[in-house]
Amino acid sequence: MSDLDNNHSIDCKKIISGEFLAKRPSKPLKVQLEKVDNKSLFSGVIELVSPIGIVLRSSVPLGKYKLKVFNNLEIIVKTVNLKESAPYQSFDIIKVIREKEERKKLSKEDFELLTYSSKELIAKLTEDLPKGNKELIREQLQLEVEKSELLDELEVADVFKYSQGKIKNLTGFGSITLSDDYLSSFIKRSIKDKRYTRETIIDESGERIYDLHALPMNCKSGGMIAIDVTDIINTEKKNKTRELEIYRDVIEAATNGKFKLIFKEEEINNELEKGNKLFTISLQEAKDIKASRARFKEELKRFNLTAKEKLHLTLALSEVTTNALKHGGTGELVVKNYDNNLRIITSDQGKGIDFKELPKAALMKNYSKSNSFSLGQGFSVMFMASDRLLLKTDCKGTIVILEKGLTKGGAVDE
């Protein structure tokens, strides 16, 4: 038999009455066993289940144990005194406790809970739907489950059923921090609208994020899958951060440290505080760019720079202010003198720059394919005119700092 390995499956099944009902769980179910007489704790894995017996992969002394399978399901079992081969042990079910109700064996619902996969639970929930909608809704729900391959491993999905004004957790993980009132109202909305409904919500603490999927069964009942996607989203954020760090490291190494990406707010704020302000201009319309250029040319007269350096810096200022105005709608220009360096700083509140374009922009001459930022010849001018280019960009906006080292002595004597 395939339920256990060939050496042990027959003996294990024989010790369970009604063996035709015995079934292996769709995934390994780890459980904690608490010895009833002395509270000693052991661990095991459920390998086979029937309404009146369980086979565990475990090694515990003979006796009576309490298994807490899910938050709202406890099973009292007793070892069967048979000669068996390790690592399998057989147990008779003495009592089943669920939501303060006690039974002498597993109900059909409990049995399905222990043995069904997420897909089978979806099929069970949707079995009363009209044929026309059943397969479509099943496909929609199963697709969402399949999108997260970690779902079963992380145990982040709870399946609920709403009927006769009450909501019941069928899977019993009990990890959902949303109130029953909210979950009931969400399912009732799906029932009222007579359609599959999806919603992403953050709980009241702001710590957990749930992806909810509800579907009506009839005019008075419905089902729902609640997926805790907090860990998945956090993992995606970590992966995104690592991706950005790779872009930063590659660009910085390829440009010998000339082009630096900044991600942290405290780091860019520290850079913005450095230096003495020479002038500030608010960028609201095209004429402000012209005014910025004129004011900048006047300031450049104070510094020991060649005519060529002044020309390149003025062109760079034109490009960076144009980008701020074009892609941010509005912006600000600040020019500073810092530690014998001239700094041109622009900031805007646009959508930010596509990081995927930056390596090509930094490493390929005349590259220009970005819709969110003018990277082509303008970028080349900025890069050529400065000794360092610092960039902080995200969905809140973009900050560019162009830094040009001044000759020893800095400003011309006035």
- d(C-alpha 260, C-alpha 249), whole Å: 9
**Measured distance CA(325)–CA(328) in Å, rounded:** 5
Cα–Cα dist 195/308, whole Å: 68
Residue 230 reports pLDDT greater than 90? no
- The mean pLDDT of the chain is 80
Task: Answer yes or no: is 267 within a domain.
Answer: yes
Looking at the fold, whether 212 and 243 belong to one and the same domain comes out as: no
How many whole angstroms separate alpha carbon 389 and alpha carbon 260? Answer: 6
259 and 400 fall within a common domain: yes
Alpha-carbon span 169 to 183, nearest angstrom: 11
User: Same structural domain for residues 47 and 164?
Assistant: no
Which tens digits make up the pLDDT trace of 105-115? Answer: 988 888 887 88
On whether both 220 and 342 belong to a single domain, the answer is no
Q: What is the pLDDT of residue 267?
A: 94
Q: Would you say 213 and 196 are in contact if contact means Cβ atoms under 8 Å apart?
A: yes
Report residue 175 as tokens: 């990890």
Position 141 scores a pLDDT of 66
Domain boundary among the residues 169, 201, 228 is at: 228
Do residue 189 and residue 337 come from a single domain? no
Q: Going by DSSP bridges, is the β-strand pair 101-103/259-261 parallel, antiparallel, or unpaired?
A: unpaired
Residues 188-229: tens digit of each pLDDT: 999 999 899 999 999 888 888 999 999 888 888 888 888 888
Q: Is residue 191 part of a domain?
A: yes
Residue 366's closest CA among 353, 375, 358, 357?
375
Determine the average pLDDT of the residues in 316-329. 90
Lowest mean pLDDT among 18-22, 158-162, 343-347: 18-22
pLDDT confidence of residue 409: 46
Tell me, yes or no, whether 323 and 290 share the same domain: yes
In the predicted model, what is the mean pLDDT of residues 330-340? Answer: 94
Of the candidates 211, 228, 245, which is a domain's last residue?
A: 228
Q: Cβ–Cβ contacts within 10 Å for residue 355, how many?
A: 18
Instruction: Indicate whether 111 belongs to any domain.
Output: no
Which span out of 87-101, 169-183, 281-295, 317-331 was modeled with the highest average pLDDT? 281-295
Structural domain boundaries enclosing 203? 118-228
- Is 38 contained in some domain? yes
The conformation of residue 169, written as its DSSP 8-state character, comes to E
What is the domain count for the chain?
A: 3
Does 252 lie in the same domain as 395?
yes
Residue at 3 is within a domain: no
As given in the structure block, the two tokens for residue 60 are 């515990």
| Whether residue 146 is found in the same domain as residue 183 | yes
Residue 19 lies in a domain: yes
Output the domain CATH number for residue 57.
2.40.10
Percent of the chain with pLDDT over 70: 76
Check residue 399 and give its pLDDT: 94
Residue reference for tokens 């959508």:
351
Same domain for 224 and 240, yes or no, is no
In sequence order, what are the residues at sequence separation of 6 or more whose Cβ sits closer than 8 angstroms to the Cβ of residue 342?
303, 313, 335, 336, 403, 404, 405, 406
Longest dimension (CA), the chain: 103
pTM over 0.85: no
- Average pLDDT of span 4-32: 58
Task: Looking at the structure, tell me whether residues 249 and 223 fall in a common domain.
Answer: no
The CATH number assigned to the domain holding 183 equals 3.30.450
**Residue 79 covered by a domain:** yes
Q: Which residues lie closer than 8 Å to 80 by C-beta, 6 or more apart?
A: 15, 53, 89, 90, 91, 92
228 Cβ partners below 8 Å, 6+ apart?
Answer: 154, 156, 157, 175, 176, 208, 209, 210
Give the CA radius of gyration of the chain. 33
Going by pLDDT thresholds of 50, 70 and 90, the confidence category of residue 271 is: very high
Asked if the structure places residue 4 within a domain, the reply is no
What is the Cα–Cα distance from 158 to 169, expressed in whole angstroms?
A: 7
Lowest mean pLDDT among 155-159, 235-239, 323-327, 333-337: 155-159
CATH classification at residue 301? 3.30.565.10
Q: Which of 207, 228, 249 is the last residue of a domain?
A: 228
Which pLDDT score, from 0 to 100, does residue 387 have? 94
Whether residues 19 and 149 fall in one domain: no
Tokens of 305: 């720079």
pLDDT digits (tens, 9 = 90+) for 152-186: 444 557 788 898 888 888 765 566 888 889 999 99
Answer yes or no: do 246 and 215 share one domain.
no
